[in-house]
Structure 1
Amino acid sequence: MGDIYKALADPTRRVLLDELMDRDEQTLFELCSRLAMKHDLTPSRQAVSQHLDVLESAGLVRTERRGRYKLHTIDTTPLEEISMRWPPRRGTP
C-alpha cells in the first residue's frame, strides 16, 4: 500500500490521474498536451512518462498497446484499500 501513497504524494501525478478520470485511454502526447493547456505544466515527455510509470507500479494506471499507440487508463481499485483501512466512523460529524 506504500506505493499508493508515494504515487499520490506528487501533485503532477495527481493531475495526471485527474486527467485520466476526465477522459480515459490517453496517449503520452495527449496527456502532455493537456498538462500544458489546462494546468500550465510543462514537464518533459520523459518526466511525464516516469510519473506514469510510478502510477502504473502502484496499480493506479493500466496501459494497453493498440498498434503504435500506448493508451493509459486509470484504475481506482487500489484506492479502495485506503477506505477499507480507515472506514468512516459512524455517528461522528
Structure 2
Amino acid sequence: MRDIAINLRAHSEQRDLIDRAASALGKTRSDFMLEAACEKAQAVILDRTFFALDEAAFARFSAALDAPVDANPELERLLSRRPAWEK
C-alpha cells in the first residue's frame, strides 16, 4: 500500500497524452507516471555515478586515485571525534 501522495498540476493535453500511453500499457495513470518518474530519477543518478573515460584520461584518473593523500589535520580531527549521536 502506498502511503505518500505526490500531487502535480498539468495541462489537459499532457494528462490526455499520459492517459493514452498508460492505457496502451494497461496501467493506471498513477502507475505509469510513478514508473516513468522513477526510471528518469535512476537515469539521472546513474549519469552522475558512472562515467566513461578514454585510455589516457583513465590512466590520469587512476594515478590520481593511487597518489598519496596530503595530510589534512582538520579532517583527521573531525574523523577522530565521537559522533553526537553516540554521546
Q: TM-score, normalised by structure 2?
A: 0.29
More helix, by proportion: 2
Structure of greater Rg: 2
Higher relative contact order (CA 8 A, sep 6+): 1
Q: TM-score, normalised by structure 1?
A: 0.28
More strand, by proportion: 1
